[in-house]
Chain A
Amino acid sequence: MPDAALNLKTLAPPPELRRPKLVPGERGLGGLTDHLTAFAEGKTPRWWWIMFLPAAFLAAVVLPSLLIYQISSGIGVWGNNQPVSWGWDIINFVWWVGVAHAGTLISALLFLTRQHWRTAIGRAAEAMTVFAVMMAGLYPGIHTGRVWFDWFLAPIPTSNGIWPQFRSPLMWDVFAVNTYLMVSTLFWYMGLIPDLALMRDRAKTRVRKIIFGVFALGWTGSARHWHNYEKAYLVLSGLATLLVFTVSSIVGMDFATSQLAGWHETIFPFYFVAGAVFCGFGMVLVLLIPLRKLCHLEDVITPQHIDKVCKMTLLMGCIMAYIYVMEYFLAWYTGNPYDSWVFGHRLFGHQYWFGGWIMILVNATLPQLFWFKKVRQNLKLIFVIAVLINIGMWFERFVIIVGSLYQDFLPANWGAYFPTWVDVGTFAGTLGAFFTMYLLFVRFLPVIAVSEVKGATPQADPHHPLGGAKGGH
């Protein structure tokens, strides 16, 4: 189309105003499709096995055996004690829920605000959400101790005649986490349907055709179907966006409604949402930076995307800094001696003082490096910062939970907390299970939302010369 190319040139803005392309347009849509599905259809590379086997060992051997050991012996095999009755189980629960949040924020909130750059990273981030919520949901289940009574949490009629107690935020949490798991899975799966149809149409073997065909539900790409699909996607995004703000709020209320110094704060719901999104962006960076290289997607997940995620991380880091300052201010301003004790001991206590410093240095200070463009372009440095953010946010939960529990109102009741090997092993097991599922996702499904990315190219726009529009159309 020589006239179309000419048209594009005359219409193009001057070079200084030109934005870098979100999606490389040189390939054409067919080439782009081949490129984006290449990894899910190609041979399994060696690096995949090197990562998969240890993760699968943790998931399939370590995690189940430790769960069986803990369930058959009791919570005593963990470090939980009196007064520290919430230990690594709840720390890891809050941490995993937090990791999940960025995925929903990227895929739902950025969809509603029409941020087209999200198309390239939305799918990978949503998968992270689904798997992280699974890991999060595991912890409260086993934390009950006698897991065979977990069904007491469900509002079903029993011979006991007693019902769940809906005035407790812990009960709200049961609803919130399960809803989060179901809605994020539904959202992820619905986004996958057109791409599953694509994989079905491209399948070379009968087995692949049948498997992808079943999960694609017979998607044809009919305009009538797209019409309903887009509406459903919009509704789901709106509802999932609500979850970004409610799930961690409710987790925060689990703490805030108690009377404990260090927990009893009105800022907690907001605090937990901000912390969750912050930690989640850290995990998105940890996953995306190697993923784009290993799956050869450097031209789709561009440094521009990483730059944008870094900016979001910076914003969240600043909110964390504000909250940390505000917490200290409130502890001083309320004049509550217990609050002052807890917050003073976060930084200068006999035990666990390092947690408070890690929390402030890593979560509030380190992301300030993202003010510099040089840092936002240095992928290796970003990766290191992102890993540190995840560790820092883990310590934040440690400081909040253990730091508030180990020295409560009665000095006679003071104690200490140390995790046992079972705590450590179970956490390693959940990390293994998360990465196992993530690696399987990367291997067998398109990690980029192909139809969405194609829809964001100029070739997909019927009024753009590359979309076939004639001059003046």
Chain B
Amino acid sequence: MDANRKYYGLVAEFDSPAAILRAAEKVRDAGYHRWDTFTPFPIHGLDRVMGLKNSLVGWFALLFGGGAFVGCMAMIWFMNDFDYPVIVGGKPMFSPPAAFVPSYILLVLAGAIGAFVGMIALNELPRFHHPLFKSRRFSLASRDKYFLAIGSTDPKFSETETRKLLAEAGGAHIELVEDD
């Protein structure tokens, strides 16, 4: 390790979902905190091993959608009852059942946008550059290989010890990735 350079961390490659699951258990039991796994599809059980809490995306959707529903109801009341009432077929100026439909539609729209925006924001995307993209083998993470990276900022990180742990867990092509 060159002291003048910044490092992202160590990355190891695994061959199967079960192998990465076992490796993740080992890394967790060894007491690491700043580590992540990279897989071509979500592997069930991995989130539990990594201790990921329930995602906040649902709250984004609820806030956006609920806000849009209330906002649309208020907008229709303002437009058709308060600001410029027009009599149409003797119908009430504002009636919740009629205003419900467009408000509900906007709930769906804003809820969907909320879920998407929430997912992007919580994942800190878009981020077009990532230190791991420098690793040549990492492009296989979208194909059929499974990667586990331990960050150099982890208090327990040490190049030799961490490398040993990853090798014991069955990791191949263990690589020290630079940060810039």
Contact = CB atoms under 8 A, between A and B. Distances in A.
B99 A29 contact: no
A25 interface: no
A468 B17 contact: yes
A164 B108 CA distance: 21
Interface in B1-27: 15-21
B144 A28 contact: yes
Interface range on chain A: under 10, 10 to 19, 20 to 34, or 35 or more?
A: 35 or more
B160 interface: no
A161 B36 CA distance: 56
Interface stretch (A234-242, A277-285, A337-345, A362-370): A234-242
Interface in B122-178: 122-123, 125-130, 132-133, 139-144
Contacts of B108: 179, 183, 239, 242-243, 246
A121 interface: no
Contacts of A171: 102
Contacts of B118: 228, 232
Contact of A221 (B89, B109, B142): B142
Contacts of A325: none
Interface string B71-109: 000011001100110101101000100110110111011
Contacts of A175: 102, 105-106
B122 A228 contact: yes
Nearest to B93: A167
B179 interface: no
A236 B114 CA distance: 9
A30 B143 contact: yes
Given A165-B88, A183-B112, A198-B143, A231 B57 contact: yes
Contacts of A168: 88
A467 to B, nearest CB: 5
A332 interface: no
A163 B56 CA distance: 37
7 contacts: A29-B144, A165-B88, A220-B38, A226-B41, A231-B115, A242-B108, A473-B18
Contact of A219 (B95, B125, B144): B125
Interface string B54-73: 11111001000100000000
Contact of B21 (A169, A454, A459, A462): A462
Given A179-B108, A223-B36, A469-B18, 6 more contacts: A155-B75, A182-B112, A220-B38, A228-B122, A235-B115, A462-B45
